[in-house]
């Protein structure tokens, strides 16, 4: 190769390198695909990955006036099965959720913990009975579920205010009466995540919402009990609205104080 040929070769190499760098920088070359972290299963059901092995399921209910309202629950991978925290809101969305877990995650749901007996937590219970999936709840939930015509849940054991019960990869905590007399919370120690259920309000909530079955006098004490039990909570999942931090517990107390 002559000096002239060598110079032309190097020039072509430099130009080719500059072109490839420019294409990559401007996005004309396809980048590595980004892992999917959210699934719109149906118009009324969404699943989002929170962290490896943990997913938030959000289902929407349409009221008679046409308004739609979201409700949060959790899916926890437990080796070769999944633990479900709260059913989806209603039978149809619960069917879709169970099918999604089986097909997308490739594991069966071994058990469901309901954080209280309202439809946004236990409305899909008939589907669980049909599929032979056990449903667990606060023993206080049992007569309430039966009175509402729902399948009778299994008891999580004796739960006095402030008591905890180990359940597989999670810890169940009864803070005391709040949104309902039977509302419980679920703690994921490895994730630093507290599932507060409807006892906890989201940061953008400006009112207490449905308080028909609430114990407004005890609710603040129950929130403070939860804050004392889990001072290291990194995230708190409310029953409705966006996930936040431990500040949601005191935010709920502040909203309650506005009612006085």
Write the CATH number for 107: 3.60.15.10
Catalytic residue among 179, 183, 240, 251: 179
| The total number of structural domains that make up the chain | 1
Residue 136 lies in a domain: yes
Residue 9 lies in a domain: no
> What is the model's pLDDT at position 36?
53
Sole residue written with tokens 């999942």: 237
Q: Sorting pLDDT into bands at 50, 70 and 90, what band is 53?
A: very high
Residue 120 lies in a domain: yes
- Answering whether pTM is above 0.75, one says yes
171-204 per-position pLDDT tens digit: 999 999 999 999 999 999 999 999 999 999 999 9
Average pLDDT of span 94-103: 97
> What is the model's pLDDT at position 11?
43
pLDDT surpasses 50 at 15: no
| Chain centroid to CA 162 | 22
Catalytic residue among 116, 182, 183, 251: 116
Q: Which of 149, 143, 108 is nearest to 126 (CA)?
A: 149
- Its sign, for the CA torsion 232, 49, 54, 211, is positive
120 counts as catalytic: yes
119-170 per-position pLDDT tens digit: 999 999 999 999 999 999 999 999 999 999 999 999 999 999 999 999 999 9
Please give the structure tokens belonging to residue 4.
């002239």
Residue 148 lies in a domain: yes
Please give the structure tokens belonging to residue 32.
């590595």
| Helical (H) or strand (E) element with 253 | helix 247-257
Residue 84 lies in a domain: yes
Residue 90 lies in a domain: yes
Sole residue written with tokens 């069917």: 95
Residue 24 lies in a domain: no
Query: Domain containing 100: what range?
Result: 36-257
Catalytic residue among 57, 86, 118, 183: 118
Catalytic residue among 120, 138, 182, 251: 120
Mutual angle of helices 219-229 and 247-257, in 10-degree steps:
160
Average pLDDT of span 212-233: 97
- How many C-alpha atoms does 242 have within 13 Å on its Cβ side? 6
| Chain centroid to CA 150 | 23
Residue 112 lies in a domain: yes
């Amino acid at each position: 190769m002559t000096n002239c040929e060598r110079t032309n070769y190097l020039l072509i190499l430099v130009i080719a390198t500059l072109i490839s760098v420019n294409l990559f920088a401007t996005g004309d070359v396809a980048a590595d695909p980004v892992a999917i972290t959210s699934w719109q299963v149906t118009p009324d059901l969404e699943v989002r990955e929170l962290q490896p092995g943990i997913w938030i399921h959000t289902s929407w209910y349409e009221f008679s006036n046409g308004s739609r309202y979201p409700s949060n629950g959790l899916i926890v991978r437990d080796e070769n099965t999944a633990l479900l925290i709260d059913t989806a809101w209603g039978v149809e969305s619960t069917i879709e959720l169970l099918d999604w877990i089986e097909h997308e995650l490739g594991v069966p749901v071994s058990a469901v913990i309901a954080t209280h007996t309202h439809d946004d937590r236990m409305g899909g219970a008939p589907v669980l009975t049909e599929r032979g999936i056990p449903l667990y709840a606060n023993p206080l939930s049992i007569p309430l579920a039966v009175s509402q015509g729902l399948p009778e849940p299994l008891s999580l054991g004796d739960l006095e205010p402030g008591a905890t019960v180990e359940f597989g990869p999670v810890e169940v905590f009864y803070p005391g009466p709040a949104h309902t007399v039977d509302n419980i919370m679920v703690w994921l120690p490895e994730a630093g995540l507290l599932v507060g259920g409807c006892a906890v309000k989201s940061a953008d909530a400006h009112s207490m919402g449905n308080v028909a079955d609430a114990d407004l006098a005890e609710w603040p004490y129950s929130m403070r009990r939860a804050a004392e039990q889990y001072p290291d909570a990194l995230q708190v999942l409310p029953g409705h609205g966006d996930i936040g931090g431990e500040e949601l517990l005191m935010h709920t107390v502040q909203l309650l104080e506005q009612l006085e």
